[in-house]
């Protein structure tokens, strides 16, 4: 597959992500405006961070006038899961892929983009990832911009509905591979049950969301890898 074909395929697969991002970041834009950020500041924040949970948490810290150290530590915990995602995604790339490709792909390694790229059959072409990022990232920034300039006129019920769009994107990412593999479907169900347990049980629900994701990812993904190993020939 040449660079142009891979890039076009990535752009096509990135359109649904961009549409979902616009809905979610619209809400972020409204919150950014209420926190005192200008349209330029909010859009720049979305372009340089590209992380919904981190940005929403960051706004709360900005509003509370907390220290830079608290901001840095919070972002580290919330976004630490991307280290695991990047390690997993790097295994999809050809060993001869130059470092600068891995560097730029890491910028757009969000939950949804990771899901789409990791489910791509065979080795991951760097330009496929670039195509997804080229559509999804501007969608997130543009939704932020729309939220800042016009979101304050919408009623609260509409804003709450827009906030659910992020979960809709997660469902769209996991359903197709779950249909084609009972093992993946089982892993998804176990993940949902474990997440529910960590949310309800005392002591466990005191673990931050960032560390909770990392812990569950290591336990469940590691267990699945040990019980159902994928041969190299099957992964090609």
End-to-end CA distance of the chain: 14
Q: Which of 213, 182, 216 is nearest to 51 (CA)?
A: 213
Q: Which tens digits make up the pLDDT trace of 147-186?
A: 888 866 777 677 666 666 656 766 777 788 888 888 889 9
∠ CA 133-18-208, nearest 5°, is 80
∠ CA 114-38-29, nearest 5°, is 40
Q: Which tens digits make up the pLDDT trace of 4-30?
A: 899 999 999 999 899 888 888 888 888
75 contacts 57 by C-beta, under 8 angstroms: yes
């Amino acid at each position: 597959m040449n660079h142009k074909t891979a890039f076009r395929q990535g752009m096509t697969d990135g359109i649904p992500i961009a549409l979902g991002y616009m809905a979610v970041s619209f809400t972020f834009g409204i919150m950014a405006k209420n926190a005192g950020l200008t349209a330029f500041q909010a859009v720049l924040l979305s372009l340089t961070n590209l992380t919904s949970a981190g940005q929403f948490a960051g706004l709360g810290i900005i509003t509370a006038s907390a220290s830079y150290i608290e901001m840095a530590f919070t972002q580290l915990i919330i976004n630490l899961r991307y280290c695991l995602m990047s390690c997993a995604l790097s295994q999809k790339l050809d060993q001869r892929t130059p470092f600068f490709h891995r560097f730029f792909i890491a910028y757009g390694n969000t939950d949804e983009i990771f899901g789409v790229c990791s489910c791509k059959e065979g080795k991951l072409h760097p330009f496929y990832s670039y195509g997804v990022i080229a559509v999804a990232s501007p969608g997130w920034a543009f939704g932020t911009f729309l939220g800042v300039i016009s979101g304050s006129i919408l009623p609260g019920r509409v804003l709450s509905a827009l906030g659910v769009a992020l979960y809709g994107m997660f469902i769209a990412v996991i359903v197709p591979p779950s249909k084609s593999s009972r093992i993946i479907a089982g892993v998804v169900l176990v993940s949902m049950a474990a997440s529910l347990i960590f949310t309800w049980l005392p002591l466990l629900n005191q673990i931050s969301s960032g560390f909770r994701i990392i812990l569950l990812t290591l336990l469940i993904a590691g267990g699945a890898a040990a019980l159902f190993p994928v041969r190299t020939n099957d992964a090609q």
